[in-house]
Amino acid sequence: MGVRVRLRIRVSNLEVITSALVNSGFESTEPELIIPPPLADILRLTGSGVAEYRLVGGGGTSGLRVDEVLKVSLVLGDRDTDEVDAVGTVLPGEDEVIISDRLASKLGIVIIDPYEGLWCLRDEVGRKVRRSAGMQLWR
């Protein structure tokens, strides 16, 4: 199943709430989001650089590095969370928003059970268990 969270992505005066996959295997030195091209169009994202990624199994892929700073926060329903800055990469062929390990850490996400889709926030460990949001595809 994986862990998916509801995420608010804000760029200037545009905002989208979407489901996003928390991928602890997506290792990044900075808080990063993978953005599907249709969502990038809605947010009017522009890019000028290329980001290269190694894939499991030895392959690779590249995407367009977004120029704008993405403002992201969790949408929980029972509490507010801080907004954090993230970098974005538009990845052709990807149809789901993906959260890097570094961004998950900045957002305070703790994965309890990846198969069952259970998670909590760092300050909720041992007190609360949250269930994964549904998958949202951008095609």
pTM score of the predicted model: 0.92
- Please state, as a whole number, how many other Cβ atoms lie within 10 Å of the Cβ of residue 77: 7
Q: What's the pLDDT at 61? A: 81
End-to-end CA distance of the chain: 20
Q: What's the pLDDT at 49? A: 84
Q: What's the pLDDT at 67? A: 94
Q: Supply φ then ψ for residue 12, to 5 degrees.
A: 55, -120
Pick the closest to residue 103 from 23, 43, 19 (CA basis).
23
- Kindly provide the b/e burial profile for residues 103-119, where b requires at least 16 CB atoms within 10 angstroms of the residue's own CB: bbbbbebbeeeeeebbb
DSSP string, 52-106: EEE-TTS-EEEEEEESSPEEEEE--SS-----EEEEEEE-TT--SEEE-HHHHHH
**Mean pLDDT in each 10-residue stretch from start to end of the chain (139 residues)?**
96 96 91 97 92 75 92 96 97 95 98 97 97 97
Q: What's the pLDDT at 50? A: 81
